Structure formats: structure tokens, C-alpha cells
Amino acid sequence: MQIVLPPEVEALVQRQLTSGKYQNAIEVILAGIKLLEQKEDIYQGRLQDLQQEARIEWEASRRGEVVDGPTAMAQIRANVRSLASKCLKATPTLLT
């Protein structure tokens, strides 16, 4: 298989080779493919998590266990404030 790379991709490969991180263009391309595979794995895992969460929430709604929009937003805001407060207490030097 022969692949023609656009000039900007060739330049990226050349920069990686010049940096000394890789010995040849194949290593650079393989590293990119591995990153793509990792990204796809993460995406698929997150998609499955979201689908499971949606199923759980759907079942809860069928049982009548729902919260109206304003109440849900108030709970979310309270949770965010609580988390922010905990983070600030854990790392007070960030503000000084």
C-alpha cells in the first residue's frame, strides 16, 4: 500500500523525526494509529456508559421517579457549588 500524505502531514511527520522521538516515518504513523485506536476505545466505552445510564433513567421515568427541570438544575448547581468548595478547601494555595 502506498499513501500520499498532504504537505502539512508530511511536515508533522518530519517534525516528529527531527525531535528524535521516532526513528522513521512508519513509527510516527503507527503512533498516530495507536492514538486513534485508543480514542475509539474511549469513545466506545463512554458511549456504552451513556447508553446504560439512559436505560437506567428510562426505567426510573417509567416508574415515575422523575424530577422536573428547575428542580434538577437546582440540584446540579448545588452539587457543583459543593464540589467547587471542596476543591478550594483541598487546594487553598491556588487563590493566593
- 54 lies in the same domain as 79: no
**What is the structure's pLDDT at 68?**
86
**What is the structure's pLDDT at 93?**
58
3-state SS assignment for residue 91: coil
96 DSSP 8-state letter: -
**What is the structure's pLDDT at 67?**
84
Question: What rounded mean pLDDT belongs to the chain?
Answer: 90
Domain that holds residue 30: 1-65
67's CB contacts (< 8 A; 6+ apart) are 75
Number of domains in the chain: 2
**What is the structure's pLDDT at 91?**
65
- 20 lies in the same domain as 60: yes
- 25 lies in the same domain as 40: yes
- Among residues 61, 1, 6, which one has the least CA distance to residue 26? 1
- 61 lies in the same domain as 85: no
**What is the structure's pLDDT at 66?**
86
Spell out, as residue ranges, where the chain has pLDDT lower than 70: 91-96
- 61 lies in the same domain as 18: yes
Predicted TM-score of the model (pTM): 0.54
